[in-house]
Chains A and B, each alone.
Chain A
């Protein structure tokens, strides 16, 4: 059997896979959102059967908006299927690799980018129905708030749509026979841009949806405070959207700033281009995955403030202040990820020449640094937000214990963030301290596995502890609000639980340090 695959075949193959990714992944979030809206309507119909028609109407409207995220996936899939891809017929050249993977990245961007939005819209929809059930006379206000919340929840998915359209229509590759450095760089930055925007849209969209949902229920509980609640909702949505905007910025930088120079475009590719792959993909993974947790966490903290204000309107100013503080701490994991991403993009230069063996080692160093911080911030980002939610609920229920609550909340947040700090340390060690001076290919691949393993072990190992410590803090705070007399015992138990939870992250740190320094 002969394998005469032409460039045209590869481009066509990639277009079809890209279309499948766009439609398939986008359908996940959209379908979950549509289902969530239906559960909300069904619950309300049981409670108030006589208002069936109203609930079904609201359900259909929120389902239509949730479906629109799947429609974006469909648009990109169709653009990919009906765009004439081109490609050489005499073997695969550099431009064919670039064009093919550019189309695949476009599909991935839209698919990933729509997951969070569909789900977030569903959360907002089901809570809108809940609010309408509680206060039928205010359904106009709830409708308006629901539409606005859903529209802003959808924004990250629309950024992904724009990035994937830019990848399909604006970007391209210089047409030449052979594979050059410039081609490899183009592939890395296009796929990176797609991954950054696609993954970066997930968390923010879920977070914005959560904030909108909590705002709707809060207005239903405390209609007199409608103005301040809507204002707090907009404020927390604007801050929750910031992780998606970081991702948009990095994605645009990758697309528009790092155009290969003429010398790079004409250079036959080699080990030095692996450094470019590590740099662009590492930076993209750092910001793309690093913003998922923070986006969700910011939304949860904002939702907590809205919930608290509606339960205890007199503490509004103190709750909004606590919300800002916890949002600032929740955002710090995303900021670490942004810093590492920008360091990767702007501090590391691609050398003019490098052996393949050295190239593999350098690739793993940069990519591992990105993976460590990207994955390592998911848990803590959400966890700090959850701890903030606990503090906000606690203060609103038991205002006289505000000082003790704030103290416990800050301690809990500090411990929640420690797995991310370990990930940051490993990431910085990988970028600036870890050295490899290899001459043979076997040594190069040895270091490749070592560095990538260190980054992945720490990054993935930090997800669970961050989330777990956050949950422990939240429950300690809500329990304190219920039983203030047992504050001492609760805080002691919280610390015990945290210490055991954190030991998992420390195992990951130990393994990653062994990989970095002990096995040579």
Chain B
């Protein structure tokens, strides 16, 4: 086992003087970073909520910031809750999925603050989120289809082909959280490596270039991957609804 590699993948490190003793120590930095992003989200929403009014009867025009946030929320709602066939499931899961999306977005964007890194650059948080969605999607499959319907859902095609598909869909099911979480991790870690390489190749005093690349890459790729992760979560849970 190699300590550089371990640090790159897991954010673990071992005693560098004696790498043979494999005592994984979780890189506490990343844990703290994820708490910071949670705090930003919680305090940010508390602050934003202060000036807002819940006007059910459209009596008065909402303030500019409220209107903007409402448009954002509406867009998020059509993308996430619209991915479900039944309104009930969509409404039930929308707050969780929206929080998940915003949380991942802030985790990815945390690297914009100098001295901080995205916790999604190590595999721990993506895997835990991927497993969470995996468990949730199976819970909904059992809940909506019943135990027998759940077992039947492994036959993806009718007839003999469905029977052939059973072992395959089980392996596919296991592979799903892996690809789900490694997609987020691989892109964010790759982006961090790319920026690091460019920082080493181009002299640091070319500040505008570095700033531009940092902002472009972190904002753009971080945003896209947060969206992909959340939309895939919607699709995985939405598959529980089946054909009815």
Q: CB within 8 Å of B: which residues of A?
A: 60-61, 64-65, 68, 71-72, 74-75, 78-79, 82-84, 140, 144, 147-148, 150-151, 154-155, 158-159, 161-162, 165, 168-169, 227, 231, 234-235, 238-239, 241-242, 245-246, 248-249, 324, 327-328
Contacts and interface: CB of A to CB of B under 8 A. Distances in A.
Given A78-B193, A169-B9, A144 B79 contact: yes
Given A84-B2, A227-B85, A324-B157, A71 B194 contact: yes
B183 A75 contact: no
B55 to A, nearest CB: 26
B228 A65 contact: yes
A71 B191 contact: yes
A362 B165 CA distance: 35
B158 A238 contact: no
A155 B220 CA distance: 21
10 contacts: A64-B221, A72-B186, A79-B5, A82-B8, A144-B83, A158-B186, A159-B175, A168-B5, A234-B239, A245-B172
Contacts of A61: 224
B243 interface: yes
Contacts of B83: 144
Contact of A235 (B156, B159, B168, B224): B156
Contacts of B156: 235, 238-239
B24 interface: no
Interface range on chain B: under 10, 10 to 19, 20 to 34, or 35 or more? 35 or more
Given A82-B4, A169-B2, A324 B161 contact: yes
A74 B158 contact: no
A155 B235 CA distance: 14
B4 A159 contact: no
B78 interface: yes
Contacts of B193: 74-75, 78
B48 interface: no
Interface in B155-173: 156-159, 161, 165, 168-169, 171-172
A151 B183 contact: yes
Contacts of B9: 79, 165, 169
Contacts of A168: 5
A161 B186 CA distance: 8
Nearest to A61: B224
Contacts, number: 114
B224 A83 contact: no
A147 B227 contact: yes
**Which among B9, B79, B175 has the highest number of chain A CB atoms within 10 Å?**
B175
B6 interface: yes
A95 to B, nearest CB: 15
**Which among B6, B182, B232 has the highest number of chain A CB atoms within 10 Å?**
B182
A328 B9 CA distance: 39
B136 interface: no
B189 interface: yes
Given A147-B228, A147-B231, A242-B172, A324 B158 contact: yes
Nearest to B178: A162
A64 B186 contact: no
A162 B123 CA distance: 12
A126 to B, nearest CB: 17
**Which among B179, B225, B227 has the highest number of chain A CB atoms within 10 Å?**
B179
Interface in B187-209: 187, 189-191, 193-194, 197
A462 to B, nearest CB: 24
A239 B158 contact: no
B243 A231 contact: yes
Given A158-B183, A235-B157, A328-B161, A151 B178 contact: no
B1 interface: yes
Interface in B82-114: 82-83, 85
A427 B72 CA distance: 60
Contacts of B1: 169
B165 A140 contact: no
A148 B234 CA distance: 10
A161 B178 CA distance: 10
A75 B193 CA distance: 7
A151 B226 CA distance: 12
B186 A71 contact: yes
A75 B233 CA distance: 24
**Which among B169, B187, B239 has the highest number of chain A CB atoms within 10 Å?**
B187
Contacts of B179: 154-155, 158-159
A75 B190 contact: yes
